Structure 1
């Protein structure tokens, strides 16, 4: 499928020049606003913007020579005129929405460009899934660029995915019109070890002249980090402290500081600019993962902007980190990211620069949102039936599938426990002493049971372990087919019977997230597309997600955005301890480890 009509600069240039010179008239003129210039880092009152062919033709103190009988005029009335916001790294699937519905949710917040990595669907549907996401992205009235996923599986040998991505897939995708580069290279041990497959994917991307995304989820800034940087990734969003950001920009990478629904990594790193005085041009703010509730109720990149400013960042610098810096990173500085001649006319009108109230959003010269309401259509693909039938359990699960037998003769055991860390993606590797009752290890106190249910090949296999940090009380279970990155099914619970109910329920509805308490369903978010997304309206999905959050809280969970923490418990490329279909994974060593550490007599 092809992108809705937008002329290239070369096609539009004759008219842009003519409009700027006054020989032709503009399609749209925005009159007398404050030009927020991210090129020079200035606020310039009393300026006009003339737009033709969806691009900016003129920016100056008086565009009256560009106005004709058919020119639409918007009176800015002293409001700020900002470039549309860019999200430099994010996963549409994390919003529980298709690209069309994600766009519809974020456009009123001023986001006009997104650089998306659909590696979630790649793990479920392979290259076909990436192509479906890419094609729907190209239909939207804003700019959605796709990064070809690099790692499915993310850690070969430590997880089993529905499909695998190959260097040949990467080379093929680099020819697609909307592909901007390679998605985050999560297999950082592979890059450090010069794995031929990983280096072949990076080479295919660089040979195509496109950008390689990074993912270095390790605190080690020694030779391993330097080897990763030498392997070609051009950015990284896994930093959690100031030293991480500094190390990345010193090595020629862009430090991407993320504020997602549950990842709060801006405040701890932006001090590299605000206190250490590093050049902000190599810093980018992104979201990585935002669920629908955040998008509907709090915002998107405008939320991240306000947070960065609250952390002490100069508003103009913060804006650069989500406009011109992002565009330049992907080689699109002449296309977007600033209000300047030739660029796509992606513009926000706001009466409050500090709080960034988004009043009017213009994309490609068209008004797409007014006062929080979208004014254009976001077209959907016709998703094939097999993309809506991806949860294959192989059998009806029972409570016995979630039993954890103890070593023979044990009265108690010391076990390894996944420790959830609020507002961060990493987990902790903990230990707990648990009782053995009738030969089975029983969770107690703050420790819950966690299971990973295989759902791609109908094997009926269940991997069981323990997790701490959710704070659940009473009899409950929560299951999700969003389980980064292999996207099997994660079930967390205090009741094996409820865990079976939750898992079977998701098998019935074709995927999503469900919460049971005392044997009764409390909340359900259906995600029928690949078990990851809904093509329902963002507001509807957000309302269901809010009910899910309320059910979690009623069961004792007080974590911020605990659903996001739940969904990452199988992410075997971020330390320290995770679960996969292969067992319990020690991500500090990239190897499986035993659940039982010690038998207690």
Structure 2
């Protein structure tokens, strides 16, 4: 456990003065100073007690017989990267395995909101992830989930968190604030639950995370900002980013596996000249395939630079800005005396190859390979066996009945690379009293299968945008945020087989085509996470993506789109265990619209 700065300060002073040798000295680097915005050549760094003790032109006075000396050879010295908003569960691995995957990419600090596991296991699930995070050799702070369920009255999760639960969790040592407040209607209406949770967090001096998913930037947006959320990651346009920053919020620009919101919003800086200090980079949701093959926050920084940001500015938005936002500027986010000795050694600030990673002064990764030992963290049996359908499903469970020869149906429209959906309407034929899909028109079925209480309930609807062109089905117990089971398919027998298969393995994602299992990712921990290594899960996820492509799907990271179709706090149309939900009005609507009455 690293000691606080005030306890280590005398030793740091001695190292800086040359009265005591450093534990580590890195010589001859180019210091990326995120405080001043400079790149300072010929810089040495001395580290003691896991903190920076000296950053200057010559640290030879701090080198003793036992000091580890690393030659930077003119390479850049960059603060360890911070992910300001993310959900570990989206990586389909545990906190430890997530850290194992991202450390080689230069991520040394994460701010996680475990509201996925909270929807399945409640406060005990949050505590499991909190305690695991606290034991890691990098900085993993936890935000208390604020909206479990995300939309009361429109869904039933496996568990709920009350204001009393939030108040209790705010006393835990590794809590940094309140997780994204998704119930923006609740904030706007002064809902007692939301008001109590925000007040408790602000009273504790911690940060309230935001989630304003409405395009309405009028009075409701102003009311939301007045309610207390300090940031927001749901913007998709430059106007969204500008609006948030003008109201004193931090605009979090995300590049996850499927959410590509940086390019549009960063124009608020590059074209409209806003101060970059109010902007932060994050990932939100990254699955294991992205982490293993493409990177993590280094990927986001590279992308931001490619959109026209200066490298130092992009790095500030992934380091110092994040630390300042969470009140941790004196601990994280920069290479400066007293801060935790988290840094990256890289030879190129644009492509950002991560050649060495240090966390708290310890070498963690070199050449893209983890060098530190992170012991496995087992989860108890109470976190397993959480998929309870109550029965075996059949193809008939996915029938949608109608009496007319043809009907107009509401259809969820998937929007590639964005979280919002569109509310579509399509004319569909009816055969033998059952509404038919329209594969030629890219309309297939979606079902929400209740999986927490074993009720056997199935809610059916239609979805467009996946492009499936053969008999198939994809089922997942990752179904944000209540995490029932989402099944999407063009063949009802395959849909039933997929749902039953996930009940059999205790959760995960499966692709069935013509009765054949093409891919399976087992997620036995709360139906959300694997207990295997990230690279193993990534290989299974690769097979999953390929199987979806083999079924005709061309969407980028279609699985992530699939998993959010039950998120009833993001417009326009979603599905829950209570039915089809119009998220522009926050009310349940019928799948089949009434036919207009002929004029008299």
TM-score range, shorter chain: over 0.9
In the alignment, the residues of structure 1 paired with residue 565 and residue 349 of structure 2 have an alpha-carbon distance, to the nearest angstrom, of 38
Match of 1:180 in 2: 176
Match of 2:143 in 1: 147
Are the equivalent residues in 2 in contact too, given 1:174–1:205 (CA < 8 A)?
yes
In the alignment, the residues of structure 2 paired with residue 429 and residue 414 of structure 1 have an alpha-carbon distance, to the nearest angstrom, of 13
In the alignment, the residues of structure 1 paired with residue 596 and residue 490 of structure 2 have an alpha-carbon distance, to the nearest angstrom, of 22
| CA positional deviation for 1:561 | 0.2
Match of 2:535 in 1: 539
| SS class of match (2:397) | helix
Instruction: Trace 1:5-154 onto structure 2 (pairs within 5 A).
Output: 5-154=1-150
Match of 1:434 in 2: 428
In the alignment, the residues of structure 2 paired with residue 170 and residue 600 of structure 1 have an alpha-carbon distance, to the nearest angstrom, of 48
Are the equivalent residues in 2 in contact too, given 1:419–1:468 (CA < 8 A)?
yes
1:589 paired to 2:599: no
In the alignment, the residues of structure 2 paired with residue 249 and residue 127 of structure 1 have an alpha-carbon distance, to the nearest angstrom, of 33
Correspondence for 2:446 among 444, 450, 453: 450
Report runs of 4+ in structure 1 exceeding 4 Å deviation: none
In the alignment, the residues of structure 2 paired with residue 378 and residue 196 of structure 1 have an alpha-carbon distance, to the nearest angstrom, of 42
1:200 paired to 2:196: yes
Are the equivalent residues in 2 in contact too, given 1:214–1:236 (CA < 8 A)?
yes
| SS class of match (2:467) | coil
In the alignment, the residues of structure 1 paired with residue 134 and residue 564 of structure 2 have an alpha-carbon distance, to the nearest angstrom, of 28
Correspondence for 1:466 among 459, 462, 465: 462
Are the equivalent residues in 2 in contact too, given 1:412–1:600 (CA < 8 A)?
no
Match of 1:341 in 2: 337
In the alignment, the residues of structure 2 paired with residue 222 and residue 470 of structure 1 have an alpha-carbon distance, to the nearest angstrom, of 33
Match of 2:411 in 1: 417
Are the equivalent residues in 2 in contact too, given 1:136–1:380 (CA < 8 A)?
no
| SS class of match (2:264) | coil
In the alignment, the residues of structure 2 paired with residue 224 and residue 562 of structure 1 have an alpha-carbon distance, to the nearest angstrom, of 32
Match of 1:523 in 2: 519
Match of 1:486 in 2: 482
| SS class of match (1:103) | helix
In the alignment, the residues of structure 2 paired with residue 497 and residue 10 of structure 1 have an alpha-carbon distance, to the nearest angstrom, of 64
Correspondence for 1:576 among 567, 572, 580: 572
Length-normalised TM-score, structure 2: 0.99
| CA positional deviation for 1:354 | 1.1
| CA positional deviation for 1:598 | 3.4
Are the equivalent residues in 2 in contact too, given 1:82–1:348 (CA < 8 A)?
yes
Match of 1:189 in 2: 185
| SS class of match (1:267) | helix
| SS class of match (1:306) | helix
In the alignment, the residues of structure 2 paired with residue 341 and residue 535 of structure 1 have an alpha-carbon distance, to the nearest angstrom, of 38
| CA positional deviation for 1:295 | 0.2
Are the equivalent residues in 2 in contact too, given 1:391–1:507 (CA < 8 A)?
yes
Query: CA RMSD, aligned part only?
Result: 0.8
Match of 1:475 in 2: 471
| SS class of match (1:19) | helix
In the alignment, the residues of structure 2 paired with residue 58 and residue 69 of structure 1 have an alpha-carbon distance, to the nearest angstrom, of 18
Q: Point out where structure 2 has 5 or more consecutive residues left out of the alignment.
A: none
In the alignment, the residues of structure 2 paired with residue 486 and residue 57 of structure 1 have an alpha-carbon distance, to the nearest angstrom, of 47
Length-normalised TM-score, structure 1: 0.98
Are the equivalent residues in 2 in contact too, given 1:48–1:63 (CA < 8 A)?
yes
Match of 2:238 in 1: 242
In the alignment, the residues of structure 2 paired with residue 86 and residue 175 of structure 1 have an alpha-carbon distance, to the nearest angstrom, of 23
Moved more, 135-144 or 373-382: 373-382
Correspondence for 1:257 among 242, 253, 258: 253
Moved more, 333-342 or 134-143: 134-143
Q: What is the aligned residue count?
A: 595
In the alignment, the residues of structure 1 paired with residue 594 and residue 445 of structure 2 have an alpha-carbon distance, to the nearest angstrom, of 18
Are the equivalent residues in 2 in contact too, given 1:139–1:379 (CA < 8 A)?
no
Q: Deviations over 1:151-192 (max 9, x none)?
A: 000000000001101111111011111100000000000000
In the alignment, the residues of structure 2 paired with residue 20 and residue 474 of structure 1 have an alpha-carbon distance, to the nearest angstrom, of 68
Q: Deviations over 1:386-438 (max 9, x none)?
A: 211100000000111111111x3x10100000000000000000011000010
In the alignment, the residues of structure 2 paired with residue 518 and residue 163 of structure 1 have an alpha-carbon distance, to the nearest angstrom, of 35
1:281 paired to 2:272: no
Correspondence for 2:394 among 382, 395, 398: 398
Correspondence for 1:564 among 560, 565, 568: 560
